[in-house]
Amino acid sequence: MSYLIGIDVGGTNTNGVLLQGSTILATAKAATDHGHLRDGTRQAMTELLKALPQKRAGEVTLHLSTTLATNAIVEGKGDPTAVMIIPG
């Protein structure tokens, strides 16, 4: 049986879920620290890994996503950027 860990790093919280097929085995939530993004990710991942069966057969797949870039665009935060297009 395979397992899936999904982690979403959001603007306020980092949320995680551990799935076995379509069954939710565990969820996790940690505060997102914009200065140290790995901390919230690590905390959520640690909670989810504790919920994995010790004797398991199959693979564990990790999906990592974030809304931080989208939030920065919507909120008008971040440095100005430009795109150069050169024909040819």
CATH number at residue 28: 3.30.420.40
Q: What's CA 60's distance to the chain center, in Å?
A: 15
> In this model, does residue 56 exceed pLDDT 80?
no
What predicted TM-score, i.e. pTM, was given to this entire model?
0.78
Can you tell me the distance from the alpha carbon of 45 to that of 43, in angstroms, rounded to the nearest whole number?
5
Pick 54 or 11 by higher pLDDT: 11
**Per DSSP, what are the bridge partners of residue 17?**
6, 27
13 neighbors 31 (Cβ within 8 angstroms): yes
Would 81 be classed as within a structural domain? no
Straight-line distance from the first to the last Cα atom of the chain, in angstroms, rounded to the nearest whole number: 50
54 within a domain of the structure (yes/no):
yes
SS3 state at 35: coil
| Tokens matching residue 7 | 């982690």
Number of domains forming the structure of the chain: 1
Of 7 and 88, the one with more pLDDT: 7
What is the residue range of 32's domain? Answer: 3-75
**DSSP structural state of residue 76:** T
Whether 47 maps to a domain, the answer reads yes
57 or 87, greater pLDDT: 87
